[in-house]
């Protein structure tokens, strides 16, 4: 049987990485351990302490390697090392140090081998922690420089230093510090000039905007006062004309959410370039090629799926039931209305909707999940139609009153295709309910890079994408929907979007309504929409 050279090289690279990572850590453990003795004794220890160090070294090194494996440290990709991974490393380093401390205080004097001085234990812990964290951060920085991913942060100027401006500054500093930094305020109230708000100085008034932009190299300005009089908005636009900055504003009704998903403002997810980037990110993260058929063949946990949502090993039963209640409340349909449930999985959402009196069709790509769904529906005598198809390419010869996509679109390579198919399946005036976790975690080309997501992708071979709210709002508009409403909820499935298909003969109303607290999300739109 001929050997595929590319597959052989990929296997060789993966095997090498699995060996190299523990080897690097072993070298760090050895250096940290003996360096602690060297520093303590200001040189090579005397023969008695040197013998103790050598005898105990094997235990310490093996114990640390075992802890790193137990805490799944080697499943994380170094080039995407994050704060979550750093916490995991800290937790993996701690047990051995705790064991050495217990030996120091609790073991009898006749066992001097395990009674190390506190200074050596402390130094070894510090050197081990900084060494293992440092080598991973260096690897990440090297990767980002090689990929050209270290970008200059946007310098932002906030126009308006009142309560709204304070809230904008707070939200930007809390959620978007990696992308942008607020360099100052401008405000026409002379009482606030030169004052400091949240550590940010009021630099002048609106007439000085061009001078401030030039002096502080401003990239973007945000009008922070919602509902500002149109003549004031036009005056600010005129002042900013010719400065080549991007001007945004907060508005009461129409907006785009400012988020940090890393997906472009005008996404083209079906473009070959974006698909290639996502596939490349998947392979880099999981060290395996993406298999589009993975959804059809990944093993199903029958006990978990058959009892969902009432017996959830992750303790999410309450969250799932509240989410189902939210979905039913948002639908607000009369009994007998037709509902299409895309990505229904084991069918628990489809069955609950059917029990509310709706005529439900569930669609999913995994045949094993649909077998469970059909069995559960038959067991309680609920009529539900289940279809084995891909939500990215399905077709239907009937129209539905409503369509639900519950926590499933983030597994799709082409989410635009999902929403285009959904729009075609809805009757005019029909509504779509979209629920995603709206991750703000680190992403690459939309693919989540935190450890839990990587582990899920490695285990199942399916995608785990972070779909930000702004991106979903724009995608709904691009796919022909109107009147988008965003609902934020305090439980696990926290972000819901509802939109409508325009009625026949009616022009689409591209409006957004956000129903949560102002500090939870900020709504912006480009100044191109202001001049009218």
pLDDT at 505: 83
pLDDT at 264: 37
Q: Do domains 154-250 and 275-521 have the same CATH topology?
A: yes
Mean pLDDT of the chain: 80
- H/E run at residue 513: strand 512-514
pLDDT given for residue 26 in this prediction = 92
Res 422: pLDDT: 95
Residue % of the chain over a pLDDT of 70:
79
- CATH fold of the domain at 275-521: Rossmann fold (3.40.50)
Whether 283 has a pLDDT exceeding 60, the answer reads: yes
- What is the structure's pLDDT at 525? 32
Cβ burial of 531 (10 Å; 0-12, 13-18, 19+) is exposed
Question: And the tokens for 393?
Answer: 């390419």
Please report the pLDDT score of residue 389 as a whole number. 93
Q: How confident is the model at residue 329 (pLDDT cuts 50, 70, 90)?
A: confident
Beta carbons of 186 and 156 less than 8 angstroms apart: no
Mean pLDDT of 494-520: 74
pLDDT of 300 reads 63
Q: What DSSP line would sit under 401-436, residue for residue?
A: EEEEEES-GGG-S-HHHHHHHHHHHEEEEEEEEEEE
User: How far apart are alpha carbons 228 and 239 in whole angstroms?
Assistant: 16
Average pLDDT over residues 180-185: 86
Q: What is the strand order of the sheet 200-204 is part of?
A: 196-197, 200-204, 180-186, 154-159, 220-223, 246-249, 523-526, 256-257
Higher per-residue confidence, 148 vs 92: 92
Q: For the residues 445-465, what does the mean pLDDT come to?
A: 83
For residue range 189-229, list pLDDT tens digits in order.
888 888 998 889 999 999 999 999 999 999 889 888 766 77
Q: Which residue has the tokens 């920085």?
A: 141
For the stretch 233-250, pLDDT in tens is: 888 888 888 888 888 776
Residue appearing with tokens 């005008």? 266
Confidence of residue 1 (pLDDT cuts 50, 70, 90): very low
Is residue 178 scored above 70 in pLDDT? no
Confidence of residue 492 (pLDDT cuts 50, 70, 90): low
Give 432's strand partners: 403, 499
What is the predicted pLDDT for the residue at 225?
Answer: 76
Whether 474 has a pLDDT exceeding 70, the answer reads yes
Quick one: pLDDT at residue 517? 41
Other CB atoms within 10 Å distance of the CB of residue 249? 25
Residue 419 confidence (pLDDT): 94
Q: Return the pLDDT at 521.
A: 36
Helix (H, G, I), strand (E, B) or coil at 202: strand
Give the residue extent of every domain in the chain: 5-147, 154-250, 275-521
Checking if the pLDDT of 262 tops 80, the result is no
pLDDT at 158 over 80: yes
pTM: 0.53
Q: 77-81, 319-323, 417-421, 500-504: lowest mean pLDDT where? A: 77-81
Is the pLDDT score of 516 beyond 70? Answer: no
Task: Note the pLDDT tens digit of each residue in 16-75.
Answer: 656 788 899 999 999 998 888 888 888 887 777 777 778 888 888 999 999 998 988 887
Rounded Cα gap, residues 391 and 404, in angstroms: 12
Mean pLDDT of 146-175: 73
Give Cα 97 distance to the centre of its chain: 33
Bond before 309 cis per omega within 30 degrees: yes
Give strand pairing partners of 422.
Answer: none
Give the confidence band of 252 by pLDDT, cuts at 50, 70, 90: very low
The CA-based angle 454-456-457, given to 5 degrees, is: 65
Name the CATH topology of 154-250.
Rossmann fold (3.40.50)
Which CA distances in Å does 448 have to 42, 184, 405?
Answer: 47, 32, 20
Judge whether residue 327 has pLDDT over 50.
yes
- The DSSP code sequence of 299-368 is PP-HHHHHHTTTS-TTS-HHHHHHHHHHHHHHH---TT-EEEEET-TTSHHHHHHHHTT-EEEEEES-HH
Per-residue burial over 317-343, b = 16 or more CB atoms within 10 Å of its CB, e = otherwise: eebbbbbbebbbebbebeeebbbbbbb
Q: Which residues pair with 200 in a beta bridge?
A: 197
Q: Where residue 174 falls among pLDDT bands split at 50, 70, 90? A: low
* Mean pLDDT across 352-356: 94
Q: What is the mean pLDDT of residues 170-177?
A: 58
So what's the pLDDT on residue 167? 75
pLDDT of res. 500: 94
Give the lowest-confidence range in 333-337, 447-451, 523-527: 523-527
Q: Is pLDDT at 149 greater than 60 in this prediction?
A: no
Distance CA 302, CA 308 (A): 10
For 454, other C-beta atoms within 10 Å of its C-beta total 22
Q: What is the pLDDT of residues 99-109, one digit of tens each?
A: 988 888 887 77
Strand order in the sheet with 482-488: 385-388, 359-364, 338-342, 400-406, 426-436, 495-500, 482-488, 512-514
Count other C-beta atoms under 10 Å from residue 32's C-beta. 23
More confident residue, 280 or 152: 280
The predicted model gives 273-293 an average pLDDT of 84
Cα–Cα distance between 125 and 423 in angstroms, integer?
Answer: 58
Whether the predicted pLDDT of 266 surpasses 50: no
Q: What is the pLDDT of residue 131?
A: 93
* H/E stretch holding 155: strand 154-159
């Amino acid at each position: 049987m001929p050997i595929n050279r590319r597959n052989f090289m990929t296997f060789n690279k993966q095997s090498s990485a699995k060996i190299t990572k523990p080897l690097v850590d072993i070298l760090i453990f050895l250096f940290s351990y003996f360096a602690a003795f060297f520093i303590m004794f200001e040189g090579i220890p005397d023969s008695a302490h040197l013998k103790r160090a050598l005898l105990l070294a094997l235990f310490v090194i093996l114990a640390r390697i075992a802890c790193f494996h137990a805490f799944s440290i080697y499943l994380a990709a170094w080039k995407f090392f994050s704060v979550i991974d750093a916490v995991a490393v800290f937790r993996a380093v701690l047990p051995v140090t705790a064991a050495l401390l217990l030996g120091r205080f609790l073991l009898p004097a006749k066992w001097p081998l395990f009674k190390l001085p506190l200074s050596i234990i402390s130094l070894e812990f510090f050197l081990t922690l900084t060494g293992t964290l440092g080598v991973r951060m260096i690897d990440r920085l090297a990767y980002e420089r090689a990929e050209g991913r270290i970008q200059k942060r946007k310098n932002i100027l906030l126009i308006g230093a009142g309560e709204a401006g304070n809230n904008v500054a707070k939200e930007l500093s809390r959620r978007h510090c990696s992308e942008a930094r607020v360099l100052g305020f401008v405000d026409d109230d002379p009482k606030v000039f030169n004052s400091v708000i949240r550590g940010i100085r009021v630099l002048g008034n609106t007439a000085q905007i061009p001078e401030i932009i030039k002096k502080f190299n401003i990239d973007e300005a945000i009008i922070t006062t919602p509902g500002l009089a149109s003549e004031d908005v036009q005056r600010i636009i005129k002042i900013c004309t010719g400065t080549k900055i991007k001007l945004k504003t907060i508005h009461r009704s129409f907006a785009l959410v400012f988020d940090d998903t890393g997906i472009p403002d005008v996404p083209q997810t079906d473009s070959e370039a974006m698909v290639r980037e996502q596939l490349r990110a998947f392979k880099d993260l999981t060290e395996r090629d993406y298999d589009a058929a993975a959804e059809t063949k990944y093993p199903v946990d029958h006990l978990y799926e058959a009892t969902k949502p009432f017996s959830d090993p992750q303790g999410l039963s309450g969250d799932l039931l509240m989410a189902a209640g939210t979905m039913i409340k948002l639908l607000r349909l009369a009994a007998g209305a037709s509902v299409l449930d895309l990505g229904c999985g084991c069918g628990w959402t489809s069955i609950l909707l059917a029990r509310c009196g709706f005529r439900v069709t569930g669609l999913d790509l995994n045949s094993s999940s649909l077998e469970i769904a059909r069995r559960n529906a038959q067991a309680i005598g609920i009529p539900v139609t289940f279809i084995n198809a891909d939500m990215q390419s399905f077709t239907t010869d009937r129209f539905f009153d409503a369509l639900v996509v519950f926590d499933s679109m983030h597994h799709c390579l082409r989410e635009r295709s999902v929403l285009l198919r959904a729009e075609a399946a809805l009757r005019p005036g029909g509504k779509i309910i979209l629920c995603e976790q709206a991750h703000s975690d680190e992403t690459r080309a939309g693919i989540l890079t935190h450890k839990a997501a990587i582990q899920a992708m490695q285990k199942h071979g399916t995608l785990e994408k972070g779909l930000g709210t702004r991106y979903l709002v724009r995608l709904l508009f691009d796919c022909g929907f109107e009147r988008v409403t965003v609902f934020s909820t305090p439980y696990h499935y926290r972000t819901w979007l509802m939109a409508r298909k325009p009625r026949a003969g009616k022009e689409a109303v591209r409006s957004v309504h956000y129903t949560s607290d102002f500090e939870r999300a900020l709504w912006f739109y480009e100044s191109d929409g202001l001049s009218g």
